[in-house]
A and B are shown apart, each in its own frame.
Chain A
Amino acid sequence: MIDALILSRIQFASNMTFHILFPTISIGMGWALFYFKIRFNKTGDSTWNEAYQFWVKIFALTFALGVVSGITMSFQFGTNWPGYMQTVGNIAGPLLGYEVLSAFFLEATFLGIMLFGAKRVSQRAHTVATFLVAFGTSLSAFWIIALDSWMQTPQGFVMINGQAHATSWLQIVFNPSMPYRLSHMMTASFLTVTFLIAGLSAYRYLKGINQAGNRVLLKLAMTVAIFLTPFQIMLGDLHGLNTLEYQPAKVAAMEGIWETTKGAAAVLFAVPDESLKTNHYEIAIPKLASFYLTHSFSGEVQGLDAFPGKTPPVRPLFFAFRIMVGMGMLMLLVAAVGFWLSRKQKALPRWFLKTLTVMSFSGWVGVVSGWYVTEIGRQPYLVSGILKTADAVTKVPTNMILGTLVMYLALYLGLICSYIWVVFYIARQTTPIKVLNESKPRLADDAVRTQGTI
Chain B
Amino acid sequence: MIPNLTEASGWLPVFFLFAMGIAMVAYVVLDGYDLGVGILLNQASDQEKDVMISSIGPFWDANETWLVLGVGVLLIAFPMAHGIILTQLYLPVGTMLAGLILRGVSFDFRAKAHLRQKSVWNFLFFFGSFLTAASQGVMVGREVIGFDSGYLGWIFAFIVALCLPAGYALLGASWLIMKTSGELQSKAVIWARKSLLLTALGVGIISIATPFFSPEIAAKWFSFPNIFFLFPFPLLTLLCFIVIDHTLLKMRNGKEAKIWVPFGLSVAIFVLAFLGIAYSMFPYIVVGQMTIWQAASATESLWVIFWGAVIVLPTIIGYTIYSYKIFWGKTEPLSYY
Which residues of A are at the interface with B, using a C-beta cutoff of 8 A?
53, 56-57, 60-61, 63-65, 67-72, 74-75, 77-79, 82-83, 85-86, 89-91, 93-94, 96-98, 100-102, 104-106, 108-113, 115-121, 163, 165-166, 169, 394-396, 400, 403-404, 407-408, 411, 415, 418, 421-422, 425-426, 433-438, 442-445, 447-449, 451-454
Contacts and interface: CB of A to CB of B under 8 A. Distances in A.
Q: Which 4 A-B pairs have the closest CB atoms?
A: A82-B83, A78-B86, A89-B79, A112-B58
Given A64-B104, A115-B336, A163 B298 contact: yes
Contacts of A445: 181-182, 330
Contact of B85 (A78, A100, A110): A78
Contacts of A121: 326
B91 A400 contact: yes
A57 B62 contact: no
A116 B334 contact: yes
A454 B100 contact: no
Interface string B100-137: 11111101110011100000000000000000000000
A89 B98 contact: no
A153 to B, nearest CB: 20
Contacts, number: 261
A97 B100 contact: no
A417 B258 CA distance: 47
A62 to B, nearest CB: 9
Contact of A101 (B71, B316, B328): B316
B72 A448 contact: no
Given A65-B105, A71-B97, A83 B64 contact: no
B297 A74 contact: no
16 contacts: A72-B97, A82-B82, A85-B75, A93-B76, A94-B304, A97-B73, A97-B76, A101-B316, A105-B65, A115-B336, A400-B91, A403-B91, A404-B90, A415-B105, A422-B112, A436-B337
B246 to A, nearest CB: 16
Interface stretch (B2-10, B221-229, B273-281, B307-315): B307-315
Nearest to B332: A443
Given A79-B93, A85-B83, A109-B323, A74 B72 contact: yes
Contacts of A436: 337
Interface of B: 57-59, 61-62, 64-65, 67-69, 71-77, 79-80, 82-87, 89-91, 93-94, 97-98, 100-105, 107-109, 112-114, 178-179, 181-182, 185, 256-260, 297-298, 300-301, 304-305, 308-309, 312-313, 316, 319-320, 323, 326-330, 332-337
Nearest to B23: A100
Contacts of B258: 451-453
A310 to B, nearest CB: 26
A435 B309 CA distance: 41
A64 B61 contact: yes
Contacts of B64: 67, 71, 108
Contacts of A449: 329-330
Given A116-B58, A396-B90, A448 B185 contact: yes
A79 B86 contact: yes
Contact of A109 (B62, B67, B337): B62
A253 to B, nearest CB: 31
B330 A96 contact: no
A94 B301 contact: yes
A74 B333 CA distance: 34
Given A60-B108, A90-B297, A404-B94, A97 B308 contact: yes
Given A85-B82, A101-B309, A443-B333, 18 more contacts: A53-B337, A65-B108, A71-B100, A77-B75, A77-B86, A78-B85, A93-B77, A94-B305, A97-B76, A109-B62, A113-B58, A119-B337, A169-B304, A396-B87, A404-B90, A415-B101, A418-B113, A421-B113
B79 A86 contact: yes
Contact of B94 (A111, A117, A407, A447): A407
A69 B101 contact: yes
Contacts of B104: 64-65, 67-68
Contacts of A93: 75-77, 79, 297, 301, 305
B330 A444 contact: yes
A415 B297 CA distance: 37
A165 B57 contact: no
B90 A71 contact: no
